[in-house]
Structure 1
Amino acid sequence: MAKKYSRRSFLKQSLRFFLSLFGLAGSGYLYSRFIEPKRLQIRELDISHELIPHAFHNKRIVQFSDTHLGFQYTLEQLNKHVEKINSLRPDFIFFTGDLLDRPDHYGPSETNLTISVLQKLKAPFGKFAVYGNHDHGGYGTNLYELIMEAGGFHLLRNHSFELNHLNESIYLLGIDDASLGQPSFSQTKRNVKDGRYLILLSHAPDLAGEAADAGIHLQLSGHSHGGQIQLPWYGALYTPPYAEIYKEGRYEIKGKTPLTLYVNRGLGTTRLPFRFLSVPEITVFTLKSLR
């Protein structure tokens, strides 16, 4: 016999349901607003290739990206992440763009403090960076250059840098931002010697197809934030232009040269101060020689 519910019982159960629903919504808001943006994932990957010289075997690259200082991400957070990066014993440090969220709102005191924090980063083989779209935005092009170079970084804007160790070398290339810059693969590669392992820093991950056709072996990018907000079984709700194909993590791309792409989720947020199922990230790559 079916159990009969009184109107009072129905209202009580309905109230419990809606209170539970509101509780879940409130918990989700608190988590995505105040907890996940402060979390940190360290992801470690090995990168193997026959063109990586033995002299670079087990050399460690640490990549960080998309801090967006001045929005919700603070200099105190940057300082903690700098300490964490140094603890990972990097041989190289790569920053893949979007240091400041609004360069036009960044004053001299903040600029000097940012430089002093970046100067604390230590990497015996060098620190390198490229432009992101926010670094160009708000008349920030020159300010970003000033901060990164004073912070001890080599800023690569359609340029390459030959990394030498024990009479062997690989090349690091940095291309300008795809949204607000003037990226040029031909200009970036013009001084590169044949038969070398090539690493590309590109803020925009969706340049990977062009990079593969240009003979790049490894591309490190940011820009997407992993979408910042993801839904289970669906993924990112939104990613910006030039991060619509490759949204986070590792990809293997076919082209003139097979290319490994890694898209870092970044450390900060922009537009909305939320992260959900897209934990801030620092990535460690260990080069492996197959020679």
Structure 2
Amino acid sequence: MKNPSRRQFLKGLLGLSAAGIFTAAGGFGYARYLEPHMLETNFVPIKHPLIPKGFDRFRIVQFSDTHLSEHFTARELLDVVRNMNRLDPDLIVFSGDLIDKPHRYREHERAVQALQKLSAPYGKLAIYGNHDHGGYGTKVYQTLMASAGFRVLRNDLIKLELIDGSMIEIASLDDVMLGRPNYKGTLSKLTTDAFSILLVHEPDAALTAKDYPVNLQISGHTHGGQVQLPLFGPLITPPYGEIYTEGMYEIGEMKVYVNRGIGTTRLPLRFLSKPEITVFELAAEMM
């Protein structure tokens, strides 16, 4: 294990001090009982010359990091599902971390029933997050998501084709922390003449993915830091989520979007990092 640098130590010390001030100032009640339920829907237009005309206005709805537990229940998940269905998605993507502690969770049937109600004409895709592998959850996650009608991807490449023959490519990587992501074996199969999307839980995977023909990377994992402070930013960022923490980034020709997720982990708090559903609306560049 690496020793923390002086800069990291000072940042942590400052963060702890700021957290103390934040708690003393009465922010705890807001962060514990209000903001975790303030679900935002963010609309993100994606325009690119490789997007075919058939995919113009095609909607990909992403949700992530539900971390099902006593703090975010299957009943609350059902409310999220209803909100997502109202967004008229063409494709639904879940970017990992379904259950916070898979070895302790018992409401699998209710979770499946909620996820089954999600509907999109071009299907539902899911990838692994670190919590999906943790707690001996690898097979449980696969079974649960498949039962809910999701196609679970791990180091896969699929071609999504419409009736008119237009096509985009969707690649996936296994979880970076606890899985076995195969960057070269998967991403080297992408073509340069098709619009491509990479689904990977950890956003800092972009540091390697940028060397391949990926046009858009969609990730989660960070929860936007879960607790942020003005002028300071996230108090804590997880491994492989320390560089790209929330929202949109551009790395050369590639865009990276980091969804803040829906649930919480470690502490049931959110502050200046509201839970999020993301709607990507593709736009073809008409000639």
TM over 0.5, shorter chain: yes
Give CA deviations for 1:84-131 in whole Å, capped at 9, x if unaligned: 000000001010000000111123xx1121111111000001110100
1:242 aligned residue: 240
Letter in 2 for 1:286: E
Please tell me whether the aligned partners of residues 190 and 213 of structure 2 are also in contact (alpha carbons under 8 angstroms). Answer: no
| Cα distance change of structure 1 residues 81 and 186 upon mapping to structure 2, 3 Å threshold | same
Distance 1:82 1:23 in 2: 33
Contact 1:217 1:260 in 2 (8 A): yes
Aligned pairs (5 A) from 1:7-26: 25=24
Q: 2:184 aligns with which of 186, 190, 200?
A: 186
Q: Retained in 2: the 8 A contact 1:204–1:242?
A: yes
Deviation at 1:158, TM superposition (A): 0.2
2:264 counterpart SS class: coil
Provide the residue aligned with 2:135 in structure 1.
Answer: 138
* Cross-structure match for 2:113: 116
Write out aligned runs for 1:28-107 (5 A): 28-107=27-106
Question: 2:207 matched to 1:209?
Answer: yes
Instruction: Determine if contact 2:200/2:218 at 8 Å carries over to the other structure.
Output: yes
CA RMSD, 1 decimal: 1.7
Partner of 1:8: none
Give 5+ residue unaligned stretches, structure 2. Answer: 1-19
**2:218: which partner in 1?**
220
Q: Aligned partners of 1:77 and 1:133: how far apart in 2?
A: 22
Change (3 A) 1:273 1:23: closer
Whole-angstrom distance in 2 between the partners of 1:226 and 1:27: 21
Aligned length: 266
1:170 aligns with 2:168: yes
**Contact persistence 2:168–2:194 (CA under 8 A):** yes
Structure 2 counterpart of 1:236, which letter? P
The answer to whether the 8 Å contact 2:187/2:213 transfers is no
Separation in 2 of the partners of 1:194 and 1:270? 38
- Render the CA deviation track for 1:8-59: whole Å, top value 9, x for unaligned: xxxxxxxxxxxxx999836311100100011111110100011111110000
Where does the alignment leave 5 or more consecutive residues of structure 1 unmatched?
1-20
Q: Deviations over 1:246-270 (max 9, x none)?
A: 000000002xxx1110000000000
Deviations 1:179-229 (A, max 9, x none): 000001222236544411110111000011211111100000000000111
Give the distance between the partners of 1:173 and 1:119, measured in 2 at CA.
Answer: 23
Which of the residues 241, 256, 260 maps onto 1:265?
260
Change over 3 Å in CA distance of 1:190–1:148 after alignment to 2: farther
Amino acid at match of 1:92: L
Select between 224-233 and 192-201 the one with higher mean Cα deviation. Answer: 192-201
**Aligned residue among 154, 161, 175 for 2:151:** 154
Query: Contact 1:205–1:243 (CA<8 Å) still a contact in 2?
Result: yes
Query: 1:64 is aligned with what amino acid?
Result: F
Q: Which deviates more from structure 2 when the two are superposed, residues 71-80 or residues 128-137?
A: 71-80
Alignment partners' CA distance in 2, 1:116 and 1:235: 37
Q: Which residue pairs with 2:15 in the alignment?
A: none
Q: 1:188 & 1:176 partners in 2: Cα distance?
A: 10
User: Is the contact between residue 224 and residue 240 of structure 1 (CA under 8 Å) also seen in structure 2?
Assistant: yes
2:191–2:213 Cα contact (<8 Å) kept: no
- Which whole-Å CA distance do the structure 1 matches of 2:192 and 2:151 have between them? 23
In structure 2, the residue matched to 1:10 is none
* Gap change, CA 1:136 and 1:217, over 3 Å in 2: same
Query: C-alpha distance in 2, partners of 1:155/1:106?
Result: 20
